[in-house]
């Protein structure tokens, strides 16, 4: 079983999933509305949503015939606390943190 912190960081590692979380900051959204701005299939979006759900970052529920997504911001609390321990990352900027990790790990895509 993966460490919950590892699961959250793994879910946050993808820019599409971070964009979805940003969208859900505004309000709950139907899955089809979440998928609309992305140039990928509904099945691909559903995979991203499954990863976010498993990490506890969102909750999905069916209301009538429509599946809705809701942000679960408390799931990021442990990750935020861990990152704040590194003072240099306050306030938390996940994109900058990802670039930092890529540079430190020698990722050629950085």
Q: What is the mean pLDDT of residues 3-16?
A: 92
Question: In degrees, to the nearest 5, what angle opens at C-alpha 83 toward C-alphas 2 and 46?
Answer: 50
Q: What is the pLDDT of residues 52-78, one digit of tens each?
A: 999 999 999 999 999 999 999 888 888
Tell me, yes or no, whether 53 lies in a domain: yes
Tell me, yes or no, whether 109 lies in a domain: no
Q: Which CATH number does the domain housing residue 58 bear?
A: 1.10.10.10
Tell me, yes or no, whether 110 lies in a domain: no
**Predicted local distance difference test score (pLDDT) of residue 1:** 54
- The confidence band for 88, taking pLDDT boundaries of 50, 70 and 90, is low
Measured over the CA atoms of residue 7, residue 12, residue 13 and residue 15, the dihedral's sign is: positive
The phi, psi pair for 36, rounded to 5°, reads: -50, -50
Q: Per-residue DSSP letters for 17-86?
A: HHHHHHHHHH--EEHHHHHTTSSS-HHHHHHHHHHHHHTTSEEEEEETTEEEEEE-GGGGHHHHHHHHTT
Q: Cis ω on the peptide bond leading into residue 17 (within 30° of 0)?
A: no
Tell me, yes or no, whether 66 lies in a domain: yes
Q: Is the pLDDT at 87 greater than 60, yes or no?
A: yes
Tell me, yes or no, whether 25 lies in a domain: yes
Could you give the CA distance from residue 72 to residue 22 in angstroms, rounded to a whole number?
A: 12
Range of the domain at 19: 4-103
Could you give the CA distance from residue 81 to residue 44 in angstroms, rounded to a whole number?
A: 31
**Predicted local distance difference test score (pLDDT) of residue 105:** 79
**Predicted local distance difference test score (pLDDT) of residue 91:** 62
**Predicted local distance difference test score (pLDDT) of residue 19:** 96
What's the domain count of the chain? 1
């Amino acid at each position: 079983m993966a460490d919950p912190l590892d699961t959250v960081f793994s879910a946050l590692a993808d820019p599409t999933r971070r964009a979805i979380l940003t969208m859900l900051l505004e309000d709950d959204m139907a899955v089809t509305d979440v998928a609309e701005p992305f140039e990928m299939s509904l099945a691909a979006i559903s995979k991203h949503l499954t990863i976010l759900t498993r990490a506890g970052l969102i909750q999905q529920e069916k209301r009538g015939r429509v599946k809705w997504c809701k942000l679960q911001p408390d799931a990021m609390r442990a990750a935020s606390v861990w990152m704040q321990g590194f003072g240099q990352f306050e306030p938390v900027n996940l994109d900058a943190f990802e670039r930092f990790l890529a540079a430190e790990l020698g990722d050629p895509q950085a």
